[in-house]
Chains A and B, each alone.
Chain A
Amino acid sequence: MSSSSRQTREGWSRIAAWRSQHRSAATSSWQKLIARPVATGMVWLVVAISLALPGAMLLTLDNLRPLIPDLERPAQVSVMLDGELDLEQAEALQRELGTWDTVEDVTLVRRDEALVVFGEQTGLSGLLTSLDHNPLPHALLVSPTAPRTNTALSQLVKAIDGLSGVDRVIVDSQWMSRLDQALLATERWGLALGAAMVLGAILALANTLHFAIDARREEILVVRVIGGSPGFIRRPFLYTGLYFGAGGGVLAGLMLWALSLWIAGPVNALFALYGSPGQIQSPGVGYPSALIALGAGLGWLTSWTASARYFSRLDAS
């Protein structure tokens, strides 16, 4: 009688056997980990720090992103008219520009208005009244129609600049490009640093797992001789890797929560000072879940690689 027919008769399928092997590997690996709480805790901390730092960086960027639309006020083109142009001519230009497809709105800033505003903003009103004539020209504030791409904007600027009576066209959009680039640079820097930290986590895990495997060398050798498959031998180590990684992920999630709670006060105050209704965005459930999944995945894969390397060297020896 073959062993397979005996197993079928007792209702013990291959799947049930496989599940039972997983259960016992999962349990024994867990017991081995908690039997050495300090060593395990240190591995968890290393993994947690390596995951929490990139996580914190992504969370910061997530917090910054919603603020950007606030800053992206419609780009405006300031058109300084020739000093000799009188009000009527300026209004004629305003009407003409208003008919353009590429222009959404044109506001005329009269030279006397501009002088008053300038005086108020600079506190030089007294000095300005002593001038015998207004040095400011009339000006037009032109809002381009959407989409306000860089090419559309530069074409518009060129067209306006070509009109007679226009002295100078000023586009106040450079600071936005700078901000864009600064954010992009920060994001890339964060990603590079994050990748380095995750690589560090992988190396730390690989090293720890190598020692965990090596500590059970005798067992591996015995099980191999008596017919244990590579999968059977590897299984407990895969669980060890999984626990190391997932545990580190849990700890990283907690760190992120603690961090965001800690800095929420000052950051929210900062938002308020800038008159923004924004609130700091907590890591929620998504961030910790992602960190745990990432940690578990890294642990499992690292353990797979470390055991494969170990076994192939064992075969070669």
Chain B
Amino acid sequence: MIEFERVSRRFGDQDALRNLSLTIEQGEMAFLTGHSGAGKSTLLRLLLLLDRPSSGDIRVNGEPTSKIRSRMVPRYRRRFGVVFQDHRLLFDRSVHDNVALPLVMAGFSPTDTARRVRAALDKVGLLYHEQANPAVLSGGEQQRVGIARAVVARPEFLIADEPTGNLDPQLSSEIMSLFEAFNQVGVTVLVATHDLPLISRLRHRIITLHEGRLAGVRAQ
């Protein structure tokens, strides 16, 4: 469960988030939407402790993130799988090595790593590209490698920032189906997107931000 309680983030005299309170339930899948500058990215950055709120509390499974010391931040971040808009794959290594990165970081054994990487690639339908360089893949395939990397260590939460921003409607819908599949096995999923036509067809909660405030919630 993720709870934001009266969270504000101010940059100079600009408010990126104003007094925002919201809750994402355990095992829920929710969309975060709003115009650019509405505060979606700020919210995700605060959640991943890439930034700290000016005021207010963020709690993850009841634990206030303000209590997490900087030494423990990497361990905290490993509870999240993160999918980026530009997928941010590393082109100096194979698809396998990109997906294996979170496992190598967490200290999994090579055999365990190999098994999990193959399972994750299989899930996103890219097992046959395991040894390829991600640069030779299409945009949709690269994004699916990014998703495999995000889920390979079986995180509690899956966070995606505009994951379909550069994809056509067909591919976007495939990506969303993948997120739903992970949600169905118990992963809490939060997707920031402004692809309203796509998400309005899906039966999940839509949280709308406007100028840093909660502007509305459409129940699932």
Q: Which residues of A contact B (CB under 8 A)?
A: 3, 6-7, 10, 12, 14, 16-18, 20-21, 24, 218-219, 221-223, 225-230, 232
| Residue ID in chain A nearest B93 by CB atoms | A28
Q: Is the CB of B77 within 8 A of A3?
A: no
Q: Is the CB of A232 within 8 A of B105?
A: yes
Chain A residues with Cβ below 8 Å from B198 are none
Q: Is the CB of B105 within 8 A of A226?
A: yes
In the complex the two chains form, what is the Cα distance from A21 to B110 in whole Å?
10
Q: Is the CB of A17 within 8 A of B77?
A: no
Name the contact of A222 in the complex, choosing from B81, B90, B108 (C-beta under 8 A). Answer: B90
Name the contact of A225 in the complex, choosing from B75, B82, B110, B112 (C-beta under 8 A). Answer: B82
In the complex the two chains form, what is the Cα distance from A262 to B79 in whole Å?
63
Q: Is the CB of A228 within 8 A of B90?
A: no
Shortest beta-carbon distance from B217 to chain A in Å: 27
Q: Is the CB of A228 within 8 A of B109?
A: no
Q: Is the CB of B74 within 8 A of A228?
A: yes
Shortest beta-carbon distance from B117 to chain A in Å: 14
Chain B residues with Cβ below 8 Å from A10 are 109, 111-112
Shortest beta-carbon distance from B106 to chain A in Å: 7
Q: Is the CB of B149 within 8 A of A21?
A: no
Q: List 29 A-B contacts (CB under 8 A).
A: A3-B108, A6-B112, A7-B112, A10-B109, A10-B111, A14-B107, A17-B107, A20-B104, A218-B88, A219-B90, A219-B92, A222-B84, A222-B90, A223-B101, A225-B48, A225-B50, A225-B77, A225-B82, A226-B77, A226-B80, A226-B101, A226-B102, A226-B105, A227-B74, A227-B75, A227-B106, A228-B105, A229-B75, A229-B105
- Evaluate whether A17 and B108 lie within 8 angstroms (CB atoms) in the complex, with A222-B90, A225-B82, A227-B102 already known: yes
Shortest beta-carbon distance from A99 to chain B in Å: 80
Q: Is the CB of B78 within 8 A of A227?
A: yes
Kindly list the 8 A-B residue pairs having the minimum CB-CB distance in the complex, ordered from nearest. Answer: A17-B107, A227-B78, A12-B109, A227-B77, A229-B74, A227-B74, A222-B88, A228-B105
Chain A residues with Cβ below 8 Å from B90 are 218-219, 222
Q: Is the CB of B78 within 8 A of A21?
A: no
B91-105 vs A, CB cutoff 8 Å, 1 = contact: the mask equals 010000000011011
Contact residues of B between 102 and 148, Cβ < 8 Å to A = 102, 104-112
Chain B residues with Cβ below 8 Å from A12 are 107-109, 112
- Evaluate whether A226 and B149 lie within 8 angstroms (CB atoms) in the complex, with A17-B107, A18-B107 already known: yes
| Residue ID in chain B nearest A18 by CB atoms | B107
- Evaluate whether A7 and B75 lie within 8 angstroms (CB atoms) in the complex, with A222-B90, A225-B82, A226-B82 already known: no
In the complex the two chains form, what is the Cα distance from A223 to B77 in whole Å?
10
